[in-house]
Structure 1
Amino acid sequence: MPAFHRRRPPIAASCALVALVTAISSPAWADPAPSYAQLLARLDQTPAATEALALEDAAEARVRQARVRPNPTVSLEAENVLGSGPFSGFGGADTTLSVSQDLELFGRRGARIDAARADARTATLRRDLAVVDAAGRLALAYAEAEAAERRAALADETLTLTLADARAALVLVEEGREPLLRGIQGESEAAAARATADEAAAERDAAFARLTAVAQLAAPVTSIPATLLDQTPASAAAAAEGPPTVRVAEAERQAAERRIAVERTRARPDISASVGVRRFEAEDANAFVFGLSVPLPLFDRNRGNIDAARAEFRAADARLASARQDAQADRAAAEARLAASVSRVRAADAGVTSAEEAYRLSRIGFEAGRISQLELRATRTALVSARTAAVDARLARVRAEIDLARQDGRAPFEGPQ
């Protein structure tokens, strides 16, 4: 046994070394991230919101273009010129200058404008949905970063507790009240806790990097000073106009219906009127010219495009039915998950309180020699599990709030938009 002691390094020295490494490797976070509310206020600067706004502007521009009438056509014709006999040169020329205009009869222009307006409304609703989705991604990235930060802090605290338990075990080993095996186990637990703390720190840094990218921040996020995990979800009722996904599907269906009307008007004759003046050089006289141009629908009656528009309308109608069913199921599921997560948070908090008291009492009993190190380790493990479960419960509550907010058409933890 004495020889074995000489081969082993002192446990106290090992614990002190691990504690020193912990203190040195722990970074001093200096640049906190903006709060979730501040990031939400600048959500329109994100690429997704910018893209959706640009597509809405494009749709509005197409509405303006749809209101514009077609340009008139100016034509100049010369007859009976550069021939033979009396038609040589330009002396007997008949010259006609005319202007023709597409009349856009049979509701062609109105149907075109209505279709463009329907597309613009769809683009507006898609923009709103894109903003809601962007807010959900931001809330999730913020909550995950905060959860990763808490897990890293919990891992550091666990390492501190493990080192303290290892030092207490060393004292008992030196007093002969515990076998040397308990001290070796303490060293092993401290090394495992150190590895867990390093892994948690890496996950925290990765979550901070994701938040920096999602929030489009110029400087990297280094800490989360304002909590989102502890924030109470907003109690907002369902939107009166329905979920955003359903509204988008309804707008797409209406736009598809408007395109059927456009294709039907294209099947009707495209009548053009013309007016002009003709110059008769031989008689030194002028005369007005009037005309109408009507295509004969012998071959192309636009039936293929009409059938295609009808098929697209049926597809849009099917998407709307599916969107309504999915929205109803998703909302019910989101409400159930949110209620369950709220109860889970309360239970997890109660579990943390109980686990903290159990560990405190077991630590007192261990130092007094009334309980073994195995019992102390069990209560410490239970405390770590309880605190981890509390963080997981809060993150689940945020996810449930994000799902419900998407159905309500609002940003998470905010009122109706």
Structure 2
Amino acid sequence: MTDPFGRRRVRNALLGLLGAAGTLASAAAMAQTAPPFAELFRATEDAPRQEIIEADIARAEGLAQQARVRPNPSVSALTENIGGQSPYNGYNRSETTIQFNQPIELGGKRSARIAAGVAGVEAAKARGVDGRLAYAYDLARAYGAAEIADRRVLLAEDELEEAEEDLRVARALVRAGKEARLRSLQAETETNSLRAELSAAVAERVAAYARLSALSGQGTQFTSLAEPLLKRLDPAPRYGPLDPLQTAPYLAAKAERDAAVFRVSVAKRAATPDVTVSVGARRLEGDKANALLVGVSVPLPLFDRNRGNIAAAQADLRGADARVEAARLEAASNIEAAMTLNEAANVRVTAAQQTLATAEEGYRLARIAYESGKAPLIELLAARHGLGLARGVVLDAEAARLDARAALARLQGTTITGEIIQ
């Protein structure tokens, strides 16, 4: 039997054209080949999901910068004793005051804001790492799904070609009087069913490439892959024990908790009243003299003691503590599950490949027996159906292995091809 995955280059190019035809909704998009996964991931810095992450970090940095700013001073001018009754109906007895007012923060408000701003930046960066790992995971699955869709189309074509050949043999035997007409009708029904499956596989391929193109944010419609990703998963990966406390989701939750601690401090310190110091000069027109003004104003915390904001910040901290613990437990369970699923996926792929080899040999022998008149058509159809199922099982096993490897890589802080994400 010929290799169903490496032949018919011309036919594969035709399928690429079919995929492009199915995505003409974006007329400006140009069809092209997706680069290897590692290169594609590096080229997706401008993808919408990546931009969201960068914008979140930039926002935190802006807030941290603003936290360092001191209160602005104010300048006031006031003229009194004018426009009234005599002797204050002119400006001869007016008093003009020019005053400079500077609020002074007490209780360590500014240092608390600065610390909270720095913690917010660290939390945003930790969330960014987790977000980029999640994006790499989704992109790997989309890339693998496109490759699986390619292979399902090729397998569907192989099965259709084999069915058409079986139909040709069946019709020849019917004409020779060695088979009943019913047998050729059975073969024809099988062939028509496989044609429908091929159409469905082509449609799924178009959808898979559309998802990959949208996720990459490249503005172009991919219709083929430059490099298979599934072949890179054949060697079993080497991985040792993973520390749940070093996984990106846990570190992000911990950074959020640290930021929440500082926000509680900010809320508590905000209850301390600030002092406003005033310095000014007054012109006394009646006496033709100038005078200096010095003043201090302090608000009385009779009504607003910031208790609501303090309670809200403390509630946020309790929630952050709970999220840290939840992230730790989830990371531990995800690590155990990922390890187990990867081991199972490797075994599943090996078993599926062995099953495929057996099914290929069974179909070969069944076809020889049928063509020589030693076996009925029903046995040939059953052998080919078993071969098709075995091929599908291999693809399903490889797709499951891809998901398991991608999940493990996410926990390790890398892409599926090993690039470290920081």
Cα distance in 2 for partners of 1:294, 1:156 equals: 84
Is the deviation greater in 152-161 or in 404-413?
404-413
Secondary structure class of the residue paired with 1:223: strand
RMSD: 2.2
Cα 1:152–1:25, aligned 2, differ >3 Å: closer, same or farther? Answer: closer
- Gapped regions of structure 1 (runs ≥ 5): 1-22
The answer as to 2:168 corresponding to 1:164 is no
Cα 1:381–1:28, aligned 2, differ >3 Å: closer, same or farther? Answer: closer
Question: How much does 1:300 deviate?
Answer: 1.4
Partner of residue 123, structure 2: 122
Cα distance in 1 for partners of 2:77, 2:216 equals: 62
Question: How much does 1:223 deviate?
Answer: 2.2
Cα distance in 2 for partners of 1:350, 1:283 equals: 110
Cα 1:109–1:241, aligned 2, differ >3 Å: closer, same or farther? Answer: same
Q: Deviations over 1:54-97 (max 9, x none)?
A: 12111111111111111101112233444445544222333222
- The correspondence of residues 290-309 of structure 1 with structure 2, limited to 5 A, is 290-309=294-313
Cα 1:297–1:403, aligned 2, differ >3 Å: closer, same or farther? Answer: same
Q: Which amino acid is the alignment partner of residue 186 of structure 2?
A: Q
Partner of residue 405, structure 1: 409
Partner of residue 264, structure 2: 260
Partner of residue 25, structure 2: none
- The correspondence of residues 338-353 of structure 1 with structure 2, limited to 5 A, is 338-353=342-357
Q: Deviations over 1:372-401 (max 9, x none)?
A: 222222221111111111111111111112
Partner of residue 314, structure 1: 318
Q: Which amino acid is the alignment partner of residue 365 of structure 1?
A: A
Q: Which amino acid is the alignment partner of residue 304 of structure 1?
A: G
Cα distance in 2 for partners of 1:47, 1:337 equals: 31
- Gapped regions of structure 2 (runs ≥ 5): 1-9, 18-31
Identical aligned residues as a percent? 40
Secondary structure class of the residue paired with 1:43: coil
Partner of residue 29, structure 1: 16
Cα distance in 2 for partners of 1:111, 1:189 equals: 75
Cα 1:318–1:186, aligned 2, differ >3 Å: closer, same or farther? Answer: same
Contact conserved, 2:245 with 2:328, CA < 8 A, in 1?
A: no
Secondary structure class of the residue paired with 2:230: coil
Is the deviation greater in 398-407 or in 24-33?
24-33
Contact conserved, 1:271 with 1:293, CA < 8 A, in 2?
A: yes
Q: Which amino acid is the alignment partner of residue 339 of structure 1?
A: E
Cα distance in 1 for partners of 2:340, 2:57 equals: 35
Residue-pair matches, total: 395
Cα distance in 2 for partners of 1:64, 1:290 equals: 32
Contact conserved, 1:43 with 1:135, CA < 8 A, in 2?
A: no
Is the deviation greater in 233-242 or in 165-174?
233-242
Contact conserved, 2:360 with 2:387, CA < 8 A, in 1?
A: yes
The answer as to 2:388 corresponding to 1:387 is no
Secondary structure class of the residue paired with 1:299: coil
Q: Deviations over 1:227-246 (max 9, x none)?
A: 11222275455478622211
Question: How much does 1:371 deviate?
Answer: 2.0
Contact conserved, 2:244 with 2:250, CA < 8 A, in 1?
A: no
Q: Which amino acid is the alignment partner of residue 403 of structure 1?
A: A
Secondary structure class of the residue paired with 2:277: strand
Cα distance in 2 for partners of 1:218, 1:92 equals: 75
| TM-score computed with the length of structure 2 as normaliser | 0.88
Cα distance in 2 for partners of 1:243, 1:26 equals: 42
Secondary structure class of the residue paired with 1:320: helix
Contact conserved, 2:283 with 2:289, CA < 8 A, in 1?
A: yes
Cα distance in 1 for partners of 2:83, 2:220 equals: 79
Cα distance in 1 for partners of 2:220, 2:138 equals: 19
Contact conserved, 1:43 with 1:131, CA < 8 A, in 2?
A: no
Cα 1:24–1:241, aligned 2, differ >3 Å: closer, same or farther? Answer: closer
Contact conserved, 2:73 with 2:100, CA < 8 A, in 1?
A: yes
Partner of residue 336, structure 1: 340
Cα distance in 2 for partners of 1:406, 1:286 equals: 73
Q: Which amino acid is the alignment partner of residue 194 of structure 2?
A: A
Cα distance in 2 for partners of 1:202, 1:154 equals: 14
Q: Which amino acid is the alignment partner of residue 292 of structure 1?
A: V
Contact conserved, 1:86 with 1:92, CA < 8 A, in 2?
A: yes
Contact conserved, 1:44 with 1:131, CA < 8 A, in 2?
A: no
